[in-house]
Chains A and B, each alone.
Chain A
Amino acid sequence: MLLNYIKIAWKVLLRHPFYTFITLFGISITLTVLMMITSFLDHLVGSHYPEQNRDKSLYVMNLFLEDSARTSQMGGPISYDFYKKYIETLKTPKRTSVSSMITSANSYINGKRIKVSTKYCDTNFWEITNYEFLEGKPFNQTNIANGDHVVVITDAMREQFFDSSSESVIGKMVEVDNEKYKVIGVVKAGPVTRILTFSDMFFPYNLPKSNYQRTGLQGTFVAIIEANSSSDFPEIKSEFENNVSKIPVPIKMGGTKYSIIDTHAQTYTDTMLYGVFHKEIGSKFYLVVGLVLLMLMGLPAINLVNLNVSRILERASEIGVRKAFGAPTRTLAFQFIVENIFITFIGGAIALILTSVGIYIFNRSGLILYSDLTINLPVFGVSLLVCLVFGLLSGVAPAFRMAKMKVIDALKRQ
């Protein structure tokens, strides 16, 4: 029976190629845009290489100092000292790690400048992140203790610094910012958008240029806290806030007395939003994103409903004949809905292909270095659901209108 409906739907589509084209175009383009956006958002905030533990991690990125009147404010990443005293001492987390915000340095090879992102990190960094080692291994406690000038580089840097011969680069030297370092590991590069873990080169945190000895609460470091599970988040947060509350205030700096220390252990998304807006705006942000998506979806949806509602009369005589021969309204309405869902799914399939192509081009374009956008299952699932809502939305209204049409009116129409 259903197969029969689909057959009719197919014939109807072929009979009006122009409208079929408009409808398919609308559905597929809208879904493509929607899927690209969700895919990009997922790329930004989801748990992906090398931060596969992101969903069970908390981050301490910024620390703001404010005076009691809240007129003067100083914000920035935390210091190594702060990490050592108030984060490494936390008891609830599985492990914690400290790494510097990326800085850039230059390297010169044969008159060519290579811009290198550099990051200083501890040994735990390699446990918390999932960097895949193509060669060698990460630095360990011994390297740290000896103050070794060692470095882990990405495969992209390996290509830049060494001729692409197949021999291992482990043990070779690279010169960055006038200092020589021994390569001890090569990892697969991650996307630049994972700003807390991305870098081209990773150095032990205790090399002098990392400025880890700097005193005070603020510095150049970020802490990643991995919990056993996300259910431990509240406990870790309260433990951290408790630690911070023990810091004696006010803190005098440059003639200003700062008495409020504003820093939080937050999930990745919250950390990024807090960094930009310095306010707890999680729900508001989602509301805005939701509204934009609604607008994106709403406009084509209205468009489709509009077109379908207008076209219903075009088929009035067909409906009249069927009704006159005794087809119940329910069957006809069902046929209409099947037709709409059917075309929506075809549109969805086209969108899936377009999105794959779009993502492929995006990843290859180098617009975001080493980007790894994918159509993942949740995104596809949501899109399919959206497809259905689309189909029903644009199918039910006309079907309902048709159901009310009297046989004689329907037959009279052209």
Chain B
Amino acid sequence: MLQHLIKLIWNRKGSHLLLIIEIWASFMVLFGVMSLVTFNLDNYRESLGFEYEQVWAIDLSRNQDTVQTADKIAKVLQRIKSYPEVEKVSQMSSNSPFSFSQMNSSISRKKTSTLSDIYYADENFDEVFDIKMKSGRWYQSSDSVAKNKPVVINQKTADALFGTENPIGKTLDDNKIVVGVIDNFKAKGEFTKNEPAFFQLMWPRSEEGKIIIKLKSGTDANFEAKLVKDLGNMLVGWTVEVSYLTDQRQNQHNMALVPMIVFAIIAGFLLLNVAMGLFGILKVNIAKRREEIGVRRAMGATEADIQKQFVAEMWVIATFAVLIGLLFAVQFPILKVFDLASGVYWVAIVLAILIIYGLVTICAFYPSRQAAKIQPAIVLHES
């Protein structure tokens, strides 16, 4: 039967050409949108690797003040620790989690190297963000006197530089020693890729950067106002800005979600359009093939046979279109366009194929039912 249908469609390829082009184009649009969706969801499945609830980032910039700035920072840190509302305090470089600031560099060991996000952070960083060690330990301020500078890397960096070796205690180029390994660290939010990360002890303390504080639950903006006022009095002429990590995370999410939603809506309208078009075309085509339906019924086809035939024909047409689409789509994983993991494209291809078949099945279902209901006695005597 399938062979029969393929023959039938092949012999009608002229009139099916537009239909095939249309389904092909739909497939390509779906492939694009699904790649984006898969990429984001794939990332979303990976955990962040740190906690951000009740965490604030205080951005300090000394502007033109140059007098005893290190001293002032030390005093400010002391002051912040003394508030009963504050649970933990840490200082780090300006590229705090969820901020729009980013720093990366190539980390190398012997012959291998990897581009990694670099964070300068003090010894309390892991506590503020409640980061669990996978192996080893977080560095301490006492490590600063050691000959080799202590660093913590995430699993991604460990994989890139050490493969299956245990990185703890091994040295990197530039006299750095790995003291700890953490799991994921997705600083720009759940929708970003889990990239290699690298933490180095901030020593001596920076005179700017960010102070990260973890608060006891129930702390509100009144404390924030007080904190900013106090800091303002201690740091005259400085710029002090408090941000909640939960807000910043939302901004990062919007960056990923808004384009995805916009594309999905546009693609949705396009597909709705195509679906209605297919529906209409099928209705017309079936009207044109009443005679054939009559003959087949007379020759012993049941209603179900007719319905199956028309749905199956759409599948065959969709298969032609999808095969052409695949020729284009497989170029993406093969040629590594856009630097996405090739798995993302394969999943997107599978999803796009499923949606296409679902779409044509839905579109073909009702017209095919109508086709099955055609009375052979009437159509066979029309001409």
Contact = CB atoms under 8 A, between A and B. Distances in A.
Q: Do chains A and B touch in the complex (CB under 8 A)?
A: yes
Contact of A299 (B273, B280, B382): B273
B21 interface: yes
A296 B270 contact: yes
B270 A300 contact: yes
A90 interface: no
**A33, A209, A298, A306 — most chain B CB neighbours (10 Å):** A306
Contact of B228 (A33, A178, A309, A367): A178
Nearest to A29: B269
A306 B225 contact: no
Given A208-B64, A213-B64, A306-B22, A30 B273 contact: yes
Interface string A91-109: 0000000000001111010
B383 interface: yes
Interface residues of A, number: 41
B46 to A, nearest CB: 26
Interface SS majority for chain A: helix
Given A113-B221, A303-B22, A177 B284 contact: no
Interface stretch (A17-25, A162-170, A275-283, A375-383): A17-25
B273 A177 contact: no
Interface string A285-325: 00000000001101110111111011101100000000000
A106 B232 CA distance: 12
Interface string B265-303: 010011011101101110111011010000000000000
A178 B19 CA distance: 66
A66 to B, nearest CB: 16
A25 B225 CA distance: 54
Contacts of B64: 208, 211, 213
Interface string B191-223: 000000000000000000000000000001110
A142 interface: no
B356 to A, nearest CB: 13
Interface stretch (B118-126, B138-146, B182-190, B235-243): B235-243
B274 A112 contact: no
B274 A104 contact: no
Given A106-B228, A302-B18, A311-B284, A177 B277 contact: no
A57 B22 CA distance: 44
Contacts of A307: 277, 280-281, 284
B164 interface: no
A29 to B, nearest CB: 5
Given A19-B280, A29-B273, A208-B64, A302 B25 contact: yes
A75 interface: no
A303 B280 CA distance: 10
B25 A108 contact: no
A412 interface: yes
**A22, A307, A310 — most chain B CB neighbours (10 Å):** A310
Given A104-B241, A106-B242, A177-B240, A113 B224 contact: yes
Contacts, number: 115
B29 interface: yes
A146 interface: no
A254 interface: no
A347 to B, nearest CB: 12
A112 B285 CA distance: 66
A379 B284 CA distance: 35
A302 B21 contact: yes
Contact of A298 (B15, B25, B382): B25
Contacts of A106: 224, 228, 240-242
B280 A18 contact: yes
B63 A314 contact: no
A61 B26 CA distance: 40
A33 B290 CA distance: 38
Nearest to A40: B262
Contacts of B283: 18
Contacts of B170: none
Interface of B: 15, 18-19, 21-22, 25-26, 28-29, 63-64, 220-222, 224-225, 228-229, 232-233, 237, 239-242, 258, 266, 269-270, 272-274, 276-277, 279-281, 283-285, 287-288, 290, 382-383
9 contacts: A30-B269, A106-B242, A177-B239, A178-B228, A208-B237, A295-B28, A310-B285, A313-B288, A367-B258
Given A22-B277, A103-B239, 5 more contacts: A208-B63, A211-B63, A300-B273, A306-B22, A414-B287
